[in-house]
Amino acid sequence: MALIAAPALAQAPKAPAPKAPGSASAGATPAPTQPMPPPKSFVQQILVPGSYFHGVHGLAFNKDDQLFAGSVVGQTIYRVNVDSGDVDIVVDAPAGMADDIAIAPDGTMAWTAFLTGTIYVQRPGQKEARAIATGLPGINSLAFKVEKDKEPRLFATQVFLGDALWEIDIKELKNVDRPDFKPINYGDGQRKPIMSDMGGLNGFDFGPDGQLYGPLWFRGQVVRVDVDKATMTVVADGFKTPAAVNFDRRGNLFVVDTALGQIVQVNAASGDKTLVATLKPGLDNLAIDGRDRVFVTSMVDNGIYLVDTTTGSYRTVVEGKLAIPSGVAVFSEGGKETLHLADVFSYRTIDGATGAIDTRLRMHGDALEYPLGASVNARHVILASWFTNTVQRVDRVTGKSVQILHDFKAPMDAIETAKGELFVIEAGGNLVKVTGEQGQERTVLAKDMAAPTAMAEGPDNIVYVTENATGTIVRIDLGTGARIIVADNLKGPEGIALGPDGRLYVAEVGTEMVLAIDPKDGSRTEVARNIRMGLKPTPGLPPAYVVTGVAVGRSGTVYVTSDKRNAIYKLIPQH
């Protein structure tokens, strides 16, 4: 999984923007022409139902054939009943962040927290997970090497934010519950990796010969590594994006190709490849149970699948309609409202009436960069990703990527105005105007905002921006950069949209409410409560690291994403 950590956030603004005048006649933004009357109330519905996980990655079976699955963004490890599809939480957030999971013969579970560079373990009977290794940015995959009459050894790799294979010291695991136990900092320069610059050694496994076998994500190869001699040999190549490998008990080697959605069997001796099954792009990991049954995860479809390696068919164990819904926008046309959703591992469109979903772009199968912010106009959908510091233009009609712009500083949201101008807000506090055919010219219009999170275009060349850290909504003139506070004293405002009644609809994450705010005087009205939103970020990431998105259609219907439930709420106006 390729998540890229954001730069450190800016501190609170040095000087707050002036407040908006209290009267409608004293410079407040005019409402849209002939605005719709404000609704008397809203009826709350679920447009898209929720699901388990928040993107599902690593898998592992214990000796009792219980299946465990990890989620990075959800920061949770789950136990999955492969027959019923029932799911329960084993390690809750934040310690449960797991890109990969490995289980030793004695039941000790280890996992990698990708975003924090930490390896955790939990021994049988241990009450809480404990960190045993730190200082490993992008720590991704791990496995125990088990040899007869020897103590298990633990190996782990950095991928995407590093490129190295490490042996992790676990001699002191017996003392892990002691108050004075301290994890080893592998980033202090005192310890060296076994190998570096390997090409992205991802989900690996030890074979019957005691050698490590794994995929090189960036080279399209499966390799064999002697961890004691620090040598690497190519076993098979020609993959598009190999993500993980596992051996069954008979010594058969299976490989996941995430870009093609394929499961491939490889002869470890000859390198010959046989296509076993084809699912959809976005597969991430696999595990094999005691009966040699192959299970795979899909980060895009938030699912786990049992693959029949004889027929190539597969059965869904558990799956979600959405993975991690974040920013959302709505386009109204001919009485139909279509949502455009940044679902972190995909870009999807959703029918506002039926909830029917169309996945337009999938991570690792298409040109897409972990989208979290979304806006839309007649021509383009604009996606923003603070994970990868990118802003992307997508053709609204065809759903194809048009352009990806790089090198922003943790972009939270972006809009293309009615004039065709592109504006981006960055987590560090800037509003940036982007011009030039390749987006190479960038001008800071406003700065020192406190964790700007989402924005909505208003009339007369202005935007409204939520500042999460100070609980403020500001109106910014896109010509001059001048700012005025529209509302303050909010608790964690995130998504924002301008409704046809001239009011701003805002997700107040701190209270799990949606508010309607009059931009003329800042007065606010409760629209809905008990909207499950607000996953807590790990330290160093934007406070709204999965943005609660808000969109309002021409009908006045309000759509809200729920990162906690992986659902979309629909708030229907009652006049």
How confident is the model at residue 30, as a pLDDT?
A: 37
How confident is the model at residue 188, as a pLDDT?
A: 93
Bridge partner list, 113: 118
Each residue of 431-453: pLDDT tens digit? 999 998 888 899 999 999 999 99
495 and 38 Cβ atoms separated by less than 8 Å? no
Task: Kindly tell me if the per-residue pLDDT of 421 is higher than 50.
Answer: yes
How confident is the model at residue 16, as a pLDDT?
A: 61
- Assign 539 a pLDDT band (cuts: 50, 70, 90): confident
Beta strand 130-134 pairing with 184-185: parallel
Mean pLDDT to the nearest integer, 89-115 = 95
Task: Kindly tell me if the per-residue pLDDT of 17 is higher than 70.
Answer: no
Residue 165, amino acid:
L
- Assign 145 a pLDDT band (cuts: 50, 70, 90): very high
CA dist 150 → 105, 107, 143, 147, 396 (Å): 12, 16, 16, 6, 59
Bridge partner list, 496: 506
Task: Kindly tell me if the per-residue pLDDT of 7 is higher than 50.
Answer: no
How confident is the model at residue 28, as a pLDDT?
A: 30
Mean pLDDT to the nearest integer, 520-547 = 91
**What is the distance between the alpha carbons of residues 128 and 91, in angstroms, rounded to a whole number?**
8
How confident is the model at residue 90, as a pLDDT?
A: 96
Q: Which residues contact 139 (CB under 8 A, 6 or more apart)?
A: 99, 112, 113, 114, 117, 118, 119, 133, 156, 157, 158, 162
How confident is the model at residue 33, as a pLDDT?
A: 55
Cα of first residue to Cα of last residue in the chain, in angstroms, is 47
How confident is the model at residue 34, as a pLDDT?
A: 67
- Assign 18 a pLDDT band (cuts: 50, 70, 90): low
Task: Kindly tell me if the per-residue pLDDT of 2 is higher than 60.
Answer: no
What pTM was computed for the model? 0.92
Find, among 519, 541, 526, the residue nearest to 491 by Cα.
Answer: 526
- Assign 25 a pLDDT band (cuts: 50, 70, 90): very low
How confident is the model at residue 36, as a pLDDT?
A: 82
Mean pLDDT to the nearest integer, 145-169 = 96
Each residue of 494-524: pLDDT tens digit? 999 999 999 999 999 999 999 999 999 999 9
Of 315 and 16, the one with more pLDDT: 315
How confident is the model at residue 190, as a pLDDT?
A: 92
Task: Kindly tell me if the per-residue pLDDT of 15 is higher than 70.
Answer: no
How confident is the model at residue 32, as a pLDDT?
A: 46
- Assign 3 a pLDDT band (cuts: 50, 70, 90): very low
- Assign 223 a pLDDT band (cuts: 50, 70, 90): very high
392 and 368 Cβ atoms separated by less than 8 Å? yes
Q: Which residues contact 208 (CB under 8 A, 6 or more apart)?
A: 247, 251
Each residue of 244-294: pLDDT tens digit? 999 999 999 999 999 999 999 999 999 999 999 999 999 999 999 999 999
The two tokens of residue 276 are 């076993």
500 preceded by a cis bond (ω within 30 of 0) = no
Query: What's the 3-state SS for 228-292?
Result: CCCEEEEEEECCCCEEEEEECCCCCEEEEECCCCEEEEECCCCCCEEEEEECCCCEEEEEECCCC
How confident is the model at residue 561, as a pLDDT?
A: 98
**What secondary structure letter does DSSP report for 363?**
B
B/e letters for 549-564, b = 16+ CB within 10 Å, e = fewer, are bbbbbebbbbbbbbbb
Q: In this prediction, what percent of the chain has a pLDDT beyond 90?
A: 86
Task: Kindly tell me if the per-residue pLDDT of 468 is higher than 90.
Answer: yes
Task: Kindly tell me if the per-residue pLDDT of 9 is higher than 90.
Answer: no
Each residue of 517-526: pLDDT tens digit? 999 999 999 9
Mean pLDDT (the chain) is: 92
- Assign 537 a pLDDT band (cuts: 50, 70, 90): confident
Task: Kindly tell me if the per-residue pLDDT of 531 is higher than 70.
Answer: yes
